[in-house]
Structure 1
Amino acid sequence: MSDRFASHAPSLTGPASSGFPVSPSDSLDLPEITRALYIGSGGELTVAMASGQVLRFEAVPDGALLPLRVSRVYATDTSAEAIIGLI
């Protein structure tokens, strides 16, 4: 398959090219820092940002695309589900 953008350098403002399912954990970091999170089923979301700061987002809606660089999604205080880490 042809990819006319294969020679372009990826940027944080460009579209994601890969992703992985996120299993919230209070002790394990994600396999890679994300460029965004997709929230399939909304609720509360507690994350460790790439900077190390911990933030809690309330009332995240179903289907939200959050442009967040996170290293961990915490199980505690996270009720959102079907989370995908985009890179």
Structure 2
Amino acid sequence: MSDRFASHTPSLTGPASGGFPITPDDTMALPETTRALYVGGGGSLAVEMASGAVLTFEGVADGMLLPLRVSRVRASGTTASGIIGLV
């Protein structure tokens, strides 16, 4: 399959080109910092941002795409499910 954008440099304003499932964990960092999070099942989402700030997003809806640079999704405070890190 051809990829007309293969020679373009990835940027934070472009679409994600990869992803990985996230299991919330209070101590383990993600394998890489995300450019966005997809939340399949809504709820609360407790994260550690790339800056180190710890935030909890309440009332995240099912199917939400959040443009967040996150290094960790914490188990404590997270009720959302089906979380995917996009890179």
Q: Distance in 1 between matches of 2:12 and 2:71?
A: 16
Amino acid at match of 2:84: I
Unaligned runs of 5+ in 2: none
Q: Aligned pair 1:77/2:60, yes or no?
A: no
TM (normalized to structure 2)?
0.99
Percentage identity across paired residues of the two chains: 70
Amino acid at match of 2:50: A
Q: Distance in 2 between matches of 1:58 and 1:44?
A: 5
Number of residue pairs the alignment of both structures matches: 87
Q: Distance in 1 between matches of 2:77 and 2:5?
A: 39
Corresponding residue number in structure 2 for 1:26:
26
Corresponding residue number in structure 2 for 1:49:
49
TM (normalized to structure 1)?
0.99
User: In the TM superposition, what is the alpha-carbon distance from 1:27 to its structure 2 partner?
Assistant: 0.5
**C-alpha RMSD of matched pairs (Å):** 0.3
Deviations 1:43-83 (A, max 9, x none): 00000000000000000000000000000000000000000
Q: Which runs of 4+ in 1 moved over 2 A?
A: none
Amino acid at match of 1:63: G
